[in-house]
Amino acid sequence: MDKHQIRIILWSVTTIAVIFLATFYYKNRPLSVETATAEQNIEVTVYGLGTVEAKILSPVGFEVGAALSELNADQGDTVKKGAILARLYSAEQQAKTQQTNTAIKVAEVRLKKALSTLPKMKSTLALAKENNKRSQTLLSRKLVSKEQADKTQMEEDVAVTELDIAQIEIYVAKAELANARALYDIEIQRLERHTLRAPYDGLVIERHKELGTVLSPGEAVFTMIDPKTVWILGYVDEARAGYIRVGQHAQVRLRSLPNNKFQGIVVRIDIESDRVNEERRVYIRCNGCPEKFYLGEQAEIFIQTAVLKEALLVPETAIDNFNGSSGAVWVVKKGRLQLKPVTFGHKTLDGRVEVIEGPETDLQVVTNVPDGIKKGRKVSLIKGE
């Protein structure tokens, strides 16, 4: 082996040794890691996506069917309670109403006639009683015949019967009048159903039918809302909705006004969640939103669920086997890395989680996970801001 070959071998061995040493140093050099520090007065906010809706939204229509003869409202109109929105063709019903009104007048005449006979029947009965009493007295003195006394008795009995019949006729006439008035009230109600009135002070958001349309009973002519009940329906991930409560403060950002945030408050949380999307429905009453609104407009909600006086926060990306409530974090002890189990609490919008149980107070929790991290490896600390 000549000198040239020896030099080549030595150069190769040296190169391999240098590469090995460099690789060994690179893999075992102290890692630069950031560690978490306790923070004060941290606002915990939950995010949700939803739409502008109205609590009171009513499709309104007629209880009877007929052709539309009058329309007095259109989309965008503000109406007062009781205002006439539309009418149906009602000539036939008006005729029926007039017929029952005439029946009332006929019944009133019959009652008047029946009442007019009552004094006569009472006078006749009084006279018959007096005649009969006289006859019975004379009969006891044998001054009149038995036949004459029986006749006056019969006349009194007939007068009593006729008075009873007159009183019955009055009762029947009163009943007929009451029935006629009841039928009239029914027809009036049916006639009133040909007029559509606003059920409350509201806003017409859609008109479904036009003049001349023949409607079926219950078919919607307008859709109305109560503007005072407009709110934001937000959908919040169930995993982050556990701390939401009615009465909590919230902020709303409308898609049409992305640079503005409006103040609101949580007014309702649905008992039933969305089973498919695993989301909870939360309703926000917006206090400062614009008076002009658009139902169905997309909105973002931000609900403040807590304020942490002091907490240690770790990014979710720095947690191993995170299941929403527990996992493991890397900590620094005596300059070397260890993996410790941890229990977590609140989550923030920037993807950090509150550490509530786990590492001892003297341990430092790593907030970034660089390549090559492993148990026992030395580290150099970069203090988190």
Q: pLDDT tens-digit profile of 291-321?
A: 889 999 999 999 998 888 888 888 888 888 8
β-bridge mates for residue 185, sequence order = none
Angle between helices 91-140 and 146-192 (to 10 degrees): 160
pLDDT confidence tier of residue 18, bands split at 50, 70 and 90: low
Q: Cα-flanking dihedrals φ and ψ of residue 155, to 5°? A: -60, -40
Query: Does residue 30 contact residue 332 with C-beta atoms inside 8 Å?
Result: no
Taking the C-alpha atoms of residue 23 and residue 19, their distance in angstroms, rounded to an integer, is 6
Mean pLDDT of the 8-28 span: 58
Q: What's the CATH architecture for 28-41+308-383?
A: Beta Barrel (2.40)
Place of tokens 């009171």: 56
**CATH number, span 57-90+194-225:** 2.40.50.100
Please, what is the end-to-end C-alpha distance for the chain in angstroms? 63
Task: Kindly report whether the global pTM for this prediction surpasses the value 0.75.
Answer: no
Please tell me what DSSP assigns to residue 219: -
- Between 118 and 250, where is the model more confident? 250
Q: Cα-flanking dihedrals φ and ψ of residue 255, to 5°? A: -65, -30
- Between 15 and 25, where is the model more confident? 15
pLDDT digits (tens, 9 = 90+) for 91-115: 888 999 999 999 999 998 988 888 8
Query: Does residue 51 contact residue 233 with C-beta atoms inside 8 Å?
Result: yes
Taking the C-alpha atoms of residue 300 and residue 289, their distance in angstroms, rounded to an integer, is 13
Other residues' Cβ atoms within 10 Å of the Cβ of residue 292: 7
Taking the C-alpha atoms of residue 234 and residue 240, their distance in angstroms, rounded to an integer, is 13
Q: Cα-flanking dihedrals φ and ψ of residue 357, to 5°? A: -145, 140
User: pLDDT > 70: what percent of the chain?
Assistant: 87
Taking the C-alpha atoms of residue 23 and residue 15, their distance in angstroms, rounded to an integer, is 12
Taking the C-alpha atoms of residue 42 and residue 200, their distance in angstroms, rounded to an integer, is 45
